[in-house]
Amino acid sequence: MADRTVVDLIEDWQTGFFVVVGSAVVGVLVGLALRSVAGPPGFVLGIVGGTVLGFLGYSYLRYGR
């Protein structure tokens, strides 16, 4: 950890930020899609489920192979 630079730390923070924002965007999109089918409860479940699935999908593509 001692050989890491400030630039490496900033890159890690940026990657984490975009993972969180991207997962939230996926969650909202899934929630909007489910709202038209299941109403407000589907919206809430879609946000939660879509966020988790978005995060898992990104993690698999980035680190799972």
Rounded CA gap, 7 and 13, in Å? Answer: 10
Between CA 29 and CA 62 the distance in angstroms is 21
The confidence score (pLDDT) of residue 2 equals 64
Per-residue pLDDT of the chain (65 residues; tens, 9 = 90+): 567 888 988 998 998 899 999 999 999 999 999 998 988 999 999 999 999 999 999 888 888 86
Looking at residue 65, its pLDDT comes to: 65
Residue 53 CA to residue 42 CA, distance in Å, equals 15
31, 50 in Cβ contact below 8 A? yes
